[in-house]
Amino acid sequence: MKAKVYVTIKENVLDPQGNAVQGALHTMGFGEVGKVRIGKYLEVEIAGNDRAKAEAQLKEMCEKLLANTVVEDYRFELEG
């Protein structure tokens, strides 16, 4: 199975990297650009066919390693 994991910075947490990209885009002439938020996108292959088990494992992986749940949110989609 293949999982797509999205890790984003929580809404009320500052995103200096996003602000820097926003500033760069403005400097380049893209004045219409508003807020930019930058997160991570992971593709994870998981062996086996047990969907429920894979979902439980993904949740645990996100909580323990992939996301810092103090300042980040995560969500994932399982395919196949």
9-13 LR contacts (CB < 8 Å, sep 24+)? 9/37, 9/38, 9/39, 9/71, 9/72, 9/73, 10/71, 10/72, 10/73, 13/71, 13/72
67 near a copy of itself, rule: CB under 8 A? no
Binding to a copy of itself in span 4-33, by CB under 8 A: 6-8, 18, 21, 24-25, 28, 30, 32-33
62 near a copy of itself, rule: CB under 8 A? no
Rule CB under 8 A: which residues touch a copy of itself? Answer: 6-8, 18, 21, 24-25, 28, 30, 32-48, 54, 57, 60-61, 64-66
